[in-house]
Amino acid sequence: MKHIYFILPLLAVALIVQSAHAQSRLTDANIYGHVLDAHTRDHLGFASVVLKDLGIGTQTDSTGHFFLSNLPEGRHTIEVSFMGYRTRSATINIEMGQTLEYNFHLVPETNLLDQLVVTGSRYSTKRRETGQLVNVVPPRLFEQTVAVNPAGVLDFQPGLRVEYDCSNCGFSQLRINGLSGQYTQVLLDSRPVFSSLSMVYGLEQMPASMIERIEVVRGGGSALFGANAIGGTVNIITKEPVAPSLSFSNQSGVLGGQSFEHNTALNASLLSEDRRAGAYLFTMVRGRGAYDRNGDGFSELPRLRSETVGMRSYYKFSPAAKLTAEYHHIHEYRRGGDSLALPPQFCLIAEQAEHYIDGGSLSFDFARGYNSISVYGSAQHIGRSSYYGTNRNPDAFGRTKDLTINAGAQYVRHFERFLFMPSNLMAGFDYTFNRLDDRMTGYHRHLQQTTHIAGIFLQNEWSNAHFGLLAGLRLDKHNLLSLPILSPRLIVRYAPDAHWTLRAGYARGFRAPQAYDEDLHVAAVGGEVSIIDLDDNLLPEHSDAFTLSVDYWRQSGEWRFDAMLEGFFTNLRHVFVLENAGYDAQGNLHLLRTNASGAYVAGANAELRAAFNSSLELQAGATIQRSRYKEPFAWSPKVTPQQKMFRSPGWYGYATATWDFAKHFQASFNGTFTGPMLIEHYAGWILEDEEVMTPAFFDGSVRIAWHFHPTSFLKCELSLSCKNLLDSFQKDIDSGMLKDSGYMYGPAQPRTWLFGVKFNF
C-alpha cells in the first residue's frame, strides 16, 4: 500500500493510449471565453463548462478563462456552473474549422434549488421539483467542517446525528429522525453495497477525496431501495472526471495535546483528447494516535491508520450510450484499550480490527429521446481480522468474511402528457446477495448468514411547476421471510408560486430478522465482553412513516433566504430491542435481540439558510422529537421498565457560517448541539446497571483559510483549524479495565488543532 501513488501515472498512460485512435477525427472546431461574477465582475476560477448533450467539458483556469478544442459539429447546449451560483445554459452552433468566443456572467445563488438530484426518485431531477425532499451535502462543506469522511459532515443536515458508541474502537452510527443506525440505508452511487459489517465503521472508512456529494432523504424509502430504508437514505456519490486536473492536500495536527493526526490525499482527473473516455483517481492516507482523556491508561479514542486507492472512469460509445466503472480498495487498522504497543492478547482490554475492503461497480446507461435504460452491477468484499477481549484472553481473536453483490436494471420513460399532466414512469428490478461468515472461537460463536433479496419496483411521478404526485410500489422477497413484502409510498407536492413548496408523504418499510452492525461489534463491559444473540422467534419489524413539509425561499436585494419546516411520525411494529440475557459459563454478558410490542418517533425538523451576496453564508438546523416504546421496556432486571428510547435526545441541531472577510481569505464557523438523552450504563466500574440522563453538550469548530495563485495554472490554499474549540468532552468517563466501553456520549474528539495545505493544478 505504500506504493499506491504509482498507480496514477500508469493509468494516465493507459488513457493516453486509449485516446490515440481519436486523433484522425479532430474537427479543429473550438470555443473559448471567460466566466465572471455578474455582480462583482470578478473572474471565477475553476468553474465547470460542459456541453451537456455530449458530456464534454472543462474548467476555467485560475483567471476564469476556458478553452475547448476539436468539438463535434452541430448545435449543442453549453452549461456553465459554479458552486454558489446559478447555472447558465446557452445553445451554440459549432462548425468545422471555426473558433468562437462565448462569455458567461453567473448570478450568486446559495439555496441550490435547481441542483439535480437522484436519490429521491432513482433518476435525475431538479431538487425544487422532486417529490421527496432531498438535502445535498456539497464538497465545500467537507472543507468548512474540516471533515475527512462522511461521519464528520452528516451532523450538519437537519434531522441527522452521528454518535460514537464505543470508547475502545470508535464504533459509530448515523441516526436519522430519532431512529438508530440500523434504520438507515447507506448507498454508494445509488447501490446498496453497505452490508451490516461495513456499517460498523463504514462512515469513517470512505474518504472525502472520492466523494462528489452526499444526498440525504429523510423518511421511508423502502419502496425504492428495499429493506432498512426506514429512517432515511444516505447516497454517497463518487467523483467523475469533468476536466483534467491534479490536486494534493494534507491536514496535520495535534489531538488533545497528546497524539498526532494526519490526512493526505492525492487526486487526478484524466480525459482523452476527444473527451469520450476519462478517469478520476483518488488516494488517501490517514493516521491518528490514540487518546486517553482521564490518564488511566485506557483509550477513549482508538489508534487509527488507513490507506485508500480507487478510481471512477467512463467510456462514451456515443452521446447516448455510456459505460461507467468504479473501484476502490481500503485498508484500515484500528486499536483501542490499554498497552497499545503490546499484542492484544497481553492486554487487560483490547479491541482491534483490521479491514481489507475491495469494491466496485459497472453500469451501462442509454438515453434517447424520452426513454432511458440503466443496467448495473456492484460488489464489495470485506475481510476482517479482529480481537475483542479482556483479561489477556488468548482466544478472543476472530475472522470475518463478507460479500455483497447487487445487480439490476431500470427503465424510465418521460411522457409529455400521461392522463392529466407530464410524468416520468420508472420500472425496474434488482437483486442483492450477502454472505457473512463471522468466527470467534473463543466465545463459541460462529455466525453464518446468507441473505437473498429480490425486488421489483414501479413508480410514476406526475410533475409540473405547481403540482406533483408520486406513487410507487415495491415487492421484495427476502429468503429469511416466508412471504413477500409490499412497500408502497405516496407523495404529494404543491407549489402555489415561485417561493413556496408544500409536500406530504407516506411510506411503508420493513427490517428482516437478521444480524446488523452492532451484532458484529463485541463491547467490553466490566472486565468481560458483551455479545449480541438473535432470538430464535424474532419477527420482522414493520414501519409506517408520515412526513409533512413546507419550503420557502426568497431574494431581497443582496440577501437570499431558504427556510424549511418538516414534521415526521414513524410507527414501528414488533420493534427490535436488546435485553439482558445473563452470563454464560465463561462469564460473558449476552444481549438478546427480541421484539417489543411497538414504538413511535415523532418530531419536527427546521432549517434556515441565508446568504449575503457571495461573501457571507449562514445555515442552521434544529430537531425536536419524542421517541417512545408503546409499552414499558426493561433492558436489565436492575432497572425500572420505562417507555423512553435510549440515545434519543429531545432536541439537537447545528449551525454553520462562512465569511469571505477579505480578498483571498475565508473564515468558517460551525457547531453541533445535543440535548439531554437517556443512555444505558452497564455494571462494572459502577456496582449495578443504571440509566443515566446525560447533560447537554456543544461541539464548535473554526477554520481560517488563505487561497492564492502563484501561477496561472496553480491554486494554493493554506488553512488553520481548531475542532472542538471549547474542548467539550464527557466528564463522567469510566476508568480502568472495569469500564463500560459503550458508556460514551458527546463529541468524539477533544480540542484538535490542524494545519492544512492544498494545491490544485
CB 744 within 8 A of CB 172: no
**Domains in the chain, CATH or no CATH each:** 27-106 (2.60.40.10), 116-760 (2.40.170.20)
Residue with cell 429469511: 480
Q: Tell me, what's the pLDDT at 115?
A: 67
Place 577 in a pLDDT band, splitting at 50, 70 and 90: confident
Determine the average pLDDT of the residues in 471-483: 90
Better pLDDT: 188 or 274: 188
Residue 257 has pLDDT above 70, yes or no: yes
Task: Report the C-alpha gap between 654 and 674 in whole angstroms.
Answer: 9
- Per mean pLDDT, which of 237-241, 540-544, 587-591, 722-726 is the most reliable? 722-726
Q: What is the separation, in whole angstroms, between the first and last Cα of the chain?
A: 25
User: Collapsing DSSP states into helix, strand and coil, what is residue 361?
Assistant: strand
Residue 652 has pLDDT above 50, yes or no: yes
Residue 287 has pLDDT above 90, yes or no: yes
Determine the average pLDDT of the residues in 102-107: 87
Task: Report the C-alpha gap between 470 and 462 in whole angstroms.
Answer: 6
Residue 81 has pLDDT above 70, yes or no: yes
Least confident of 267-276, 289-298, 405-414, 695-704: 267-276
Q: Which residues of 210-231 are buried (b: 16+ CB within 10 A; e: fewer)?
A: bbebbbbbbbbbbbbbbbbbbb
pLDDT digits (tens, 9 = 90+) for 371-403: 999 999 999 999 999 998 888 989 889 999 999
Q: Tell me, what's the pLDDT at 602?
A: 95
Burial class (CB in 10 A: 0-12, 13-18, 19+), 534: middle
Residue 23 has pLDDT above 70, yes or no: no
Q: Which of 600, 676, 645 is nearest to 231 (CA)?
A: 600
C-alpha cell at 392: 489477556
Determine the average pLDDT of the residues in 496-522: 84
Over pLDDT 70: what percentage of the chain? 93
pTM equals 0.84
Q: Which residues does residue 543 pair with via DSSP β-bridges, in sequence order?
A: 509, 572
Q: Which of 150, 208, 143 is nearest to 703 (CA)?
A: 143
Place 710 in a pLDDT band, splitting at 50, 70 and 90: confident
Residue 660 has pLDDT above 80, yes or no: yes
Burial class (CB in 10 A: 0-12, 13-18, 19+), 150: buried
Q: Tell me, what's the pLDDT at 62?
A: 64
Determine the average pLDDT of the residues in 608-616: 85
Place 5 in a pLDDT band, splitting at 50, 70 and 90: very low
Q: Tell me, what's the pLDDT at 73?
A: 84
C-alpha cell at 574: 414488533
Burial class (CB in 10 A: 0-12, 13-18, 19+), 161: buried
Residue type, 228: N
- Per mean pLDDT, which of 109-113, 189-193, 524-528 is the most reliable? 189-193
Q: How far are the Cα atoms of 269, 543, 734 from residue 485, in angstroms, in the given order?
A: 43, 12, 44
Place 3 in a pLDDT band, splitting at 50, 70 and 90: very low
Q: Tell me, what's the pLDDT at 314?
A: 92
pLDDT digits (tens, 9 = 90+) for 484-498: 989 999 999 999 988
Task: Report the C-alpha gap between 387 and 369 in whole angstroms.
Answer: 56
Task: Report the C-alpha gap between 202 and 393 in whole angstroms.
Answer: 27
pLDDT digits (tens, 9 = 90+) for 397-448: 999 999 999 999 999 998 888 888 888 999 999 999 999 898 888 777 788 8
Q: Which of 174, 221, 161, 181 is nearest to 519 (CA)?
A: 181
φ, ψ for residue 600, nearest 5 deg: -145, 155
Least confident of 230-244, 381-395, 598-612: 230-244
Task: Report the C-alpha gap between 513 and 517 in whole angstroms.
Answer: 13
Q: Tell me, what's the pLDDT at 566?
A: 96
Q: Tell me, what's the pLDDT at 268?
A: 92
CB 101 within 8 A of CB 32: yes
Q: Tell me, what's the pLDDT at 527?
A: 65
Q: Tell me, what's the pLDDT at 16?
A: 44
Place 4 in a pLDDT band, splitting at 50, 70 and 90: very low
Task: Report the C-alpha gap between 299 and 641 in whole angstroms.
Answer: 32
Q: Which of 282, 323, 289 is nearest to 304 (CA)?
A: 289
Residue 83 has pLDDT above 80, yes or no: no
Q: Tell me, what's the pLDDT at 25?
A: 53
Q: For 561-583, what is the HEC assignment?
A: EEEEEEEEEEEEECCEEEEEEEE
C-alpha cell at 644: 423512553
As a whole number, the mean pLDDT across the chain is: 86
Q: How far are the Cα atoms of 236, 250, 353 from residue 286, in angstroms, in the given order?
A: 20, 10, 16
Determine the average pLDDT of the residues in 237-243: 84
Place 625 in a pLDDT band, splitting at 50, 70 and 90: very high
H or E element that contains 8: helix 7-19
C-alpha cell at 613: 451576496
Q: Tell me, what's the pLDDT at 359?
A: 93
User: Collapsing DSSP states into helix, strand and coil, what is residue 673?
Assistant: strand
User: Collapsing DSSP states into helix, strand and coil, what is residue 442?
Assistant: helix
Q: How far are the Cα atoms of 166, 198, 299 from residue 742, in angstroms, in the given order?
A: 5, 19, 13
